[in-house]
Structure 1
Amino acid sequence: MNMNFMKSFFVICFAVMLSSCSSPDVQFYQDTQPKFDFKSFFTGKLKAYGVVQDYKGELTRKLVVDMDASWQGNKGVIEEDFVYDDGETQKRIWYVTLNDDGSISGEASDVIGIASGRSAGSVFHWNYDVEIPYKDDTLETHFDDWMYMVTPTRLINRTSISKFGIEVGQVTLIIEK
C-alpha cells in the first residue's frame, strides 16, 4: 500500500476520533430548567459526595467534600475540603469572578492559568488545567467540568480528566446546599 495513502488515512482517522470526543456547546442547554445561577448556588455551606474512576471506568476512590462559599459583589471565594476514603485530605480555594460578558473565571493554587466557563439553562461548563499529585510527583492534566442543576439545592458534577487529549479518569460528584 502507498505510504502517503496510509499517512493520510491515519490523519483522517485521528481527526475523526478527536472530533467525536468534543463536548456539546453549553448553549445547547439554554432552555433547560431549573436555571443554574452560579452565585446563588455556590453561596454558604455545601456538601459533595463523589467517586473517582480511572480510564477504564473502574472505581479508584470515593470522596466527601465540605465547601464554604462567600461573595463580595462579583468576586467569590469557594473553599473546598476533600476527604478521600483512604484518609488523604486536600484543600482547594477557588477565587471566582463573574465577568461582565456572562462568563465565569476562576483561579486556585493547583490550577494552571485561569479556569473559564459559562452557564446556560440548568448547565454550567468550564475547562481548566490542574497539576495533580501522582506517585511522588505531579501531572499536568486537563479538566472538562460539567455541572447539571437537578433541583435548586442539588447538582451533579461530572469532570473528565485528560492528558494529551486522552481521557485518563472521571470524577462524579453530587453537590448539595
Structure 2
Amino acid sequence: MTVLFLTGFLSGCAGPSLDDYRDRGPELIPERFFQGELSARGVVKDFAGEVIRTFDADIEARWDEDGVGTLDEEFRFDDGEVETRTWTLTPGEDGYHADAGDVVEPGTLRWQGNAIHMNYVLQVSYGDGTLDVRMDDWMYLITPDTLINQTTMSKWGVDVGEVLLVITKK
C-alpha cells in the first residue's frame, strides 16, 4: 500500500513534459519568434513568492546562415543594476545547445507546439560573490508576438526563486 501511495504521489509531482504541448498553438518556432527586436518586462520572486525586483529588457535576436542564433539581452532592474547576456544557440540533434558567458552548465533548448523548455545552471551575483543556480525555463507562445516565460530557480534541489516575464516583438 505504501509503495502505491508513494508511486502515485511522486508521479503526481512530476512536472510537465514538452509532449503535453505538442498539439497546442500558436506554433512556437524559435527562429521565427526570436528574430529582430524584442522587449521584455518581468519580476523576480524570492523563495516565498514575494516580488523582490522588477525589470525591463531589450533583446536583439538574429540567425546566421548555419542556423546559429544569437540573442543579445540587456536587463535593467528597478534597483539600477544593468545586466547583459549574449546567448548562442547552436543547432544539435535534439534542439539547440544554449550557452552564454555566465552559464556554467549549458542547456538544450527543445520545443513542441507552443512551448519551449530549457534547463541550465546560471552564475548569479550574490553578496560579494557569485552563486550557481539551476534555471528551469518554460516559455509559452500566447500570440504570434507574445511569449510568457516562467523560470524556477533552485539550489541543491530546493526552489529559491522564480522569474516571470512577458516577451513581445517590437
In structure 2, the residue matched to 1:91 is 84
1:49 to 37, 41, 46: 41
Q: State the Cα distance separating 1:16 from its structure 2 match.
A: 8.2
3-state SS of paired residue (2:106): strand
- Is 1:146 paired with 2:146? no
Question: RMSD of aligned C-alpha atoms?
Answer: 1.9
In structure 2, the residue matched to 1:122 is 114
3-state SS of paired residue (2:109): strand
Amino acid at match of 2:49: G
Query: How has the CA–CA distance of structure 1 residues 171 and 16 changed in structure 2, closer, same or farther, with 3 Å as cutoff?
Result: farther
Q: State the Cα distance separating 1:19 from its structure 2 match.
A: 5.8
**Structure with bigger gyration radius:** 1
- Is 1:170 paired with 2:168? no
Structure 1 runs of 4+ aligned residues shifted over 6 Å read 15-18
In structure 2, the residue matched to 1:6 is none
Measured against aligned partners, the alpha-carbon deviations of 1:89-134 in whole angstroms (never above 9, x if no partner) come to 00000011232x3512111011013211310100000100011100
Query: How has the CA–CA distance of structure 1 residues 52 and 21 changed in structure 2, closer, same or farther, with 3 Å as cutoff?
Result: farther
Q: May I ask how many residue pairs the two structures share in their alignment?
A: 165
3-state SS of paired residue (1:94): strand
Measured against aligned partners, the alpha-carbon deviations of 1:69-102 in whole angstroms (never above 9, x if no partner) come to 1111310110000000011000000011232x35
Amino acid at match of 1:142: R
Q: State the Cα distance separating 1:25 from its structure 2 match.
A: 1.1
- Is 1:77 paired with 2:65? no
The normalised TM-score by structure 1 is: 0.87
Q: State the Cα distance separating 1:23 from its structure 2 match.
A: 1.8
Structure 1: how far apart are the matches of 2:26 and 2:164?
20
In structure 2, the residue matched to 1:60 is 52
3-state SS of paired residue (1:27): helix
- Is 1:105 paired with 2:105? no
Amino acid at match of 1:117: L
Structure 2: how far apart are the matches of 1:142 and 1:61?
19
The normalised TM-score by structure 2 is: 0.91
5+ unaligned residues in a row in structure 1: which ranges?
Answer: 1-8
Q: State the Cα distance separating 1:171 from its structure 2 match.
A: 0.2
